[in-house]
Chain A
Amino acid sequence: MFNYSLKRICLALVTLWVIITLTFLLMHSIPGNPFAQEGSMPKAVYDNLQSYYNLDKPLLTQYGLYLQSLLQLDFGPSLKSSSISVNDYIKNGFPISLHLGAQAMVIAITFGLIFGVIASLNRNKWPDYVAMVLAIIGISVPNFILATILINYLAVEWQLFPVATWKSWSHTVLPSIALAMMPMAYIARLMRSSMLEVLSQDYILTAKSKGLSRYSVIFKHAIRNAMLPIVTVLGILIANLVTGSFIIESIFGIPGMGEMFVKGIFNRDYPVILGSTIFYSAILIFLILIVDLAYTWIDPRIKVPGGRK
C-alpha cells in the first residue's frame, strides 16, 4: 500500500511537470502579448515592460527562471494587477472558492442522493418523474441562466437575499444554489440508475427473504453499494467546484479564483495562466489519487498491487 502510494505520488509530480512545460510552451505560442492594447505604445515603453518582467530573455531562460521561483512556491507577479501577485490571487481567492464550492457540494450531494434514492424506490411512479424532470432541468439549464433567475426573483423582486458580492452568509446562498444545481442533477441521475441496479441484485433478494425490514435493506445494503459510482465522480466534481466557477463568481461578484482561468488567458497574463493551471492540476491530481486510494478502502473487492492480501 505504501509503495503504491509513493509510486502514485511520484507519477503525480511527473504529470505536473509535463503540464507546466506544455502550458508554458502553448502559452507563448499563441498570438498576442500581455501589454497589447488598442492604440499605439512607443517602442521604449514596450521594451521597458518586457525587460521589467524578464520577457525579453530567451524562452529557455524564462522557463528556467520560472521553474526556479516555482520551487520556492512563488508563482510570480500578475502582469495586469501590480498590487496582487499570483500567490495572492490563490491565497485570497481559493478559500472563497473552496467555501462556495463546499457549500454547493453539500447541497448537491445531499439533495442529489435523496432525489436519486426516492426516484429509484418509486420507479415509474410520479415521484420518479418529478425527480428526474428536475434533474433534466438541472443539467440542461446553464447555471448563468439559473443565477440570473435567482437574482431577479429572490433578490431584486422579493429582496430575500442580497444581489451580489461576498460579505455575509446570506450573500453565499444564491451562488451556492446556482452552482449546486448541475452536480446535484448529475448525482441524482447516477444514484437512481445505480440504485436500480443494486436493488435487482441477488443479495438484496436474500436480505429481503431473511426478513430484514425495508429500512435496513435500503439503508444498510442498497445505498451503501450504490454509492460507489458516486465516489468515482466526486473527485472531479469537487476539483471543479472548489477551484471556482468563472461564470458564477463573475455574476455574483465573488472574489474567488474562478476568473483567473479565463481572464489570465484573455489578458495573456503569463504567470496567472501558469499559476492557475498548475494549481488546478495539482488539486485534480491529488483528488484523483485520494479517490483511487479510497476505493480500496470502501470496496474490499478492489485490491492494489502491494496492498494487503
Chain B
Amino acid sequence: MKKKLGSTLILILSTFFVLAGCFGGGTTKEPASNDSGKPSDETEETAPKVLRLNNSSEPGSLHPGTAQGTHDSWILEHAFEGLTKKTQEGEIIPGMAEEWETSEDGLTWTFHLRDGIHWSNGEQVTAADFEYAWKYALNPESASTYAYQLYYLEGGQEFNEGKAGEDKVGVTATDEKTLEVKLAQPTPYFLDLTSFYTYYPINQKVQEANPEWYQEADTYVSNGAFKLTEWKHKESIKLAKNEHYYEQDKINLDEVHFVIIDDENTAWQMYQAGELDLVYPLPQDVQGQLMANNDPEFVAGPDLSVYYYNINNNVKPFNNPKVRKALSMAIERQTIVDHVAQGGQPPAYSVVPPGIPDVNGDYQENTGKLFEENLDEAKKLLEEGLAEEGMDQIPNFTLTYNTSEGHKAIAEAVQEMWRKNLGIEMTLENVEFQVKLDREKAGDYTISRAGWVGDYVDPMTFMDLWVTDGPYNDADWSNAEYDKLVQTAKTTMDQEVRMKAMHDAEKILMDEMPILPIYFYTKPFTVKPNVTGIYTPINRYPQFIYADIE
C-alpha cells in the first residue's frame, strides 16, 4: 500500500510535468524579446512590415451582413471596401465605385464600379455582389442585427419584416458594373452609409458554396486592402496585404497582427514592453497620465458619441423643465473631463458632437454653447421649479449607472457637485448593464447614465433619438415643435433647411433639458513613433490602411 501511494503520486506529478513540457518545448528558453523585437530594427529592406495591435474582444461575426460592433468592424474595415470610403478629414471618396449620380428627387442613386477590382481569391467584384450582400443582410432568415441600416432602401424594411418579397428591395445590378439603388425617402447622408460595413459586398459564389466561409481564415474572401490569413479564435487574428487590391501600391504594411486581449491594462503593458505598436482603448488612469505629460505617442482621436444622463420626465419634480435645467447648470463639466474622465473630452453643452459638417463649417461649432453653467441661476430655477410643483425640496432620488469604475467616478463627482452646489442629496446605484437597459425601457428609474454613438455622420443620428415615443427616448420626453422640426429635416434634401431645422430642434432640446449632456467622447490611443499614416475618421477606429513602419 505504501508503495502504491508513492508511485501514484510520482505518476501524477510526472504527468503534470510532461503536460507542461510538451507545450512549446520547455527546455529551450524563448527570450521574451523574440516576440517584442521591433520590426523597425531590421535594416534589411526585405523584412516584412508588421503592425501589431489589440482587438479587445473576439469578433462576434466577420460577415459584413451580420457584423455589429467595433470588435467586428475594425477588422472588416480593413478587409473589405464599400462603394465609397473615407479620408482622414471624413470626406467621402470613391471606393469600389468610381462615380455615381443621383436623381433630382434624391431617391435614385446609380453607382458605377471601377475597373480592375477583385476579391482576394482573384474573382472580379461585380455589382451583383453588392445587390446580393444587401439582400442577404435584409433577409429575415439571416437574423442580422444591423439589417436596419439598410431600411433606407425602398422595400428594405418590408422585406426584413417578412411583409414583402426580396424582389421589391430597391437595389438592382443593371449590369456587371452598374448598381441602381432606390431609396424609400430622400436621405442626404446615404453616401456616408455606403462606406459603412453593412453596405459592403460579399462574394456571391463563395457565400452560396459555403455559407460558413466567414468563420475561418482559410475560407475567408474579401475585397479590401487586406485579407484574413489566420484566425485563432479568441486568441489572435492576422491580416496580410491583399495582392488583388486595386490600389495595392499605396499599401505599405505587409501584415497586421491582432492579439485578442480584453484587459486594457495588459494591452497597455504589452505596448510598454514593445509587444504592440498601437493600443486602443487605454486604461483611464493611463490616459490621464499621458495627457498630463503631453506624451508624444498619445493621440485623442475624435469620436461621434455623447455621454449623458437620462432624466425620467414622468417622475416629479423632474417633469419640470426648470428643475432639469437647474441640475444641468450645476454640473461642472470641465472638472469632470479634466480630473475624472481624463481623455481630453470636450465638455458637452449640446448633444451633437463635433466633427459633423454643417452647410458651412462644423455643426457643433456653429451650435456653440446652448446653456451656461451658472450656480446662481441654477439655484433660482430649482426654487421656481419646485414651487411650481408644490414642493419645497427634491426628495431623495437615485442615479443609476451600469457597473464600471469610470461611470462610478463620474456619478460620484456629479453627486458631490449637486450636493455642494444645490444642496441636493441623492443615492448612487450600480446595476448590471442588462438590468439598466431593462429598467430604462420600463421607465423604472429616476436618472440613469447613458451614451449614444452615432450610426452615420449627420446630426440626425442624434436628433431623432428624442422624438415623441422614439424607441430610444428613455427620458419619455415629448415636444410637438421638436418633432415637427425633426420631421422637416428628415423629408428635405435642402441642406440649409435641414441643418437649420436641426439647430432649432437642438435649441428646444437644451431649453427643456430632458437629458443632461456631460461630455463628448474621444478615442484616446497610443501609437509608437515609428508608425506613420494612422488616421481616425470621426466614427471609425484608428485606420491603418495607409500606415507605414519606418
Set of chain B residues within 8 Å of A102, measured between Cβ atoms = 16, 19-20
Interface residue? B259 (CB, 8 A): yes
A216 to chain B, nearest CB (A): 11
Contact B435 A31 (CB under 8 A): yes
Nearest opposing residue in chain B for A44, CB measure? B161
Contact B266 A32 (CB under 8 A): no
Contact A163 B145 (CB under 8 A): no
Interface residue? B103 (CB, 8 A): no
Interface residue? A168 (CB, 8 A): yes
A81 to chain B, nearest CB (A): 5
Selecting from A20-28, A34-42, A60-68, the interface stretch reads A34-42
Interface residue? A126 (CB, 8 A): no
Interface residue? B423 (CB, 8 A): no
Interface residue? A8 (CB, 8 A): no
Set of chain A residues within 8 Å of B21, measured between Cβ atoms = 169
Contact A32 B145 (CB under 8 A): no
Provide the bound-state CA to CA distance between A109 and B15, in Å. 13
Nearest opposing residue in chain A for B35, CB measure? A162
Set of chain A residues within 8 Å of B428, measured between Cβ atoms = none
Contact status of A268 and B19, CB under 8 A, knowing A45-B147, A45-B148: no
Which of B5, B234, B450, B471 counts the most A-chain CB atoms under 10 A from its CB? B234
Set of chain B residues within 8 Å of A124, measured between Cβ atoms = none
Contact B235 A255 (CB under 8 A): yes
Selecting from B56-64, B176-184, B343-351, B353-361, the interface stretch reads B56-64
Interface residue? B495 (CB, 8 A): no
Interface residue? B452 (CB, 8 A): yes
Interface residue? A69 (CB, 8 A): no
> CB within 8 Å of A: which of B426-477?
432-435, 437-439, 450-452, 470-472
Provide the bound-state CA to CA distance between A48 and B139, in Å. 9
Interface residue? B32 (CB, 8 A): yes
Nearest opposing residue in chain B for A33, CB measure? B434
Contact status of A80 and B25, CB under 8 A, knowing A32-B435, A155-B32, A266-B432: no
Contact B2 A220 (CB under 8 A): yes
Provide the bound-state CA to CA distance between A166 and B25, in Å. 14
Set of chain B residues within 8 Å of A36, measured between Cβ atoms = 434, 437-438
Set of chain A residues within 8 Å of B432, measured between Cβ atoms = 32, 266
> CB within 8 Å of A: which of B267-288?
269-270, 272-273, 275
Interface residue? B396 (CB, 8 A): no
Contact B24 A169 (CB under 8 A): yes
Interface residue? B236 (CB, 8 A): yes
Set of chain B residues within 8 Å of A98, measured between Cβ atoms = 19
Provide the bound-state CA to CA distance between A99 and B434, in Å. 34
Contact A31 B434 (CB under 8 A): yes
Interface residue? A285 (CB, 8 A): no
Interface residue? A298 (CB, 8 A): yes
Provide the bound-state CA to CA distance between A51 and B143, in Å. 8
Which of B32, B59, B147, B265 counts the most A-chain CB atoms under 10 A from its CB? B32
Provide the bound-state CA to CA distance between A156 and B32, in Å. 10
Contact B472 A40 (CB under 8 A): yes
A211 to chain B, nearest CB (A): 19
Set of chain B residues within 8 Å of A251, measured between Cβ atoms = 263, 265-266
Contact B35 A167 (CB under 8 A): yes
Provide the bound-state CA to CA distance between A38 and B266, in Å. 27
Set of chain A residues within 8 Å of B546, measured between Cβ atoms = none
Q: How many residues of B contact A (CB 8 A)?
A: 76
Indicate which residue in B25, B266, B438 contacts A31 across the interface (CB closer than 8 Å).
B438
Set of chain A residues within 8 Å of B214, measured between Cβ atoms = 83
Contact status of A106 and B2, CB under 8 A, knowing A32-B437, A39-B472: no
Contact status of A250 and B262, CB under 8 A, knowing A159-B32, A166-B235: yes
Q: How many residues of A contact B (CB 8 A)?
A: 67
B1 to chain A, nearest CB (A): 7
Binary contact readout A145-189 vs B (1 if CB under 8 angstroms, 0 otherwise)? 000100110011001111111111111100000000000000000
Contact B13 A110 (CB under 8 A): yes
Set of chain A residues within 8 Å of B141, measured between Cβ atoms = 48, 52
Set of chain B residues within 8 Å of A105, measured between Cβ atoms = 16
Set of chain B residues within 8 Å of A37, measured between Cβ atoms = 145, 437
Binary contact readout B30-65 vs A (1 if CB under 8 angstroms, 0 otherwise)? 111101100000000000000000000011111100
Nearest opposing residue in chain A for B470, CB measure? A40
> CB within 8 Å of A: which of B223-240?
231-236
Nearest opposing residue in chain B for A294, CB measure? B8
Contact B29 A170 (CB under 8 A): yes
Contact B61 A32 (CB under 8 A): no
Provide the bound-state CA to CA distance between A176 and B327, in Å. 51
Contact B19 A93 (CB under 8 A): no
> CB within 8 Å of A: which of B147-173?
147-148, 151, 157, 160-162
Contact B148 A106 (CB under 8 A): no
> CB within 8 Å of B: which of A103-159?
103, 105-106, 109-110, 148, 151-152, 155-156, 159
Interface residue? B17 (CB, 8 A): yes
B246 to chain A, nearest CB (A): 28
Contact B266 A83 (CB under 8 A): no
Interface residue? A209 (CB, 8 A): no
Contact status of A42 and B266, CB under 8 A, knowing A36-B437, A224-B5: no
Set of chain B residues within 8 Å of A259, measured between Cβ atoms = 234, 262
Indicate which residue in A82, A93, A167, A220 contacts B60 across the interface (CB closer than 8 Å).
A82
Set of chain B residues within 8 Å of A110, measured between Cβ atoms = 13
Contact B145 A49 (CB under 8 A): yes
Set of chain B residues within 8 Å of A266, measured between Cβ atoms = 432-434
Set of chain A residues within 8 Å of B144, measured between Cβ atoms = 45, 48
Provide the bound-state CA to CA distance between A82 and B147, in Å. 16
Contact B26 A156 (CB under 8 A): no
Contact A106 B13 (CB under 8 A): yes
Interface residue? B261 (CB, 8 A): yes
Contact A300 B1 (CB under 8 A): yes
Contact B23 A42 (CB under 8 A): no
Provide the bound-state CA to CA distance between A106 and B62, in Å. 39
Instruction: Using CB atoms and an 8 Å cutoff, list the residues of chain B in contact with chain A.
Output: 1-2, 4-6, 13, 16-17, 19-21, 23-26, 29-33, 35-36, 58-63, 66, 140-145, 147-148, 151, 157, 160-162, 214-216, 231-236, 259-263, 265-266, 269-270, 272-273, 275, 432-435, 437-439, 450-452, 470-472
User: Could you list 9 A-B pairs, sorted by A, with CB under 8 Å?
Assistant: A45-B147, A45-B148, A51-B143, A84-B233, A103-B19, A106-B17, A161-B32, A171-B24, A255-B234
Q: Besides the contacts A163-B275, A164-B259, A169-B21, what 9 more A-B pairs have beta carbons closer than 8 Å?
A: A38-B451, A38-B452, A83-B231, A92-B234, A151-B266, A160-B32, A162-B32, A170-B24, A255-B232
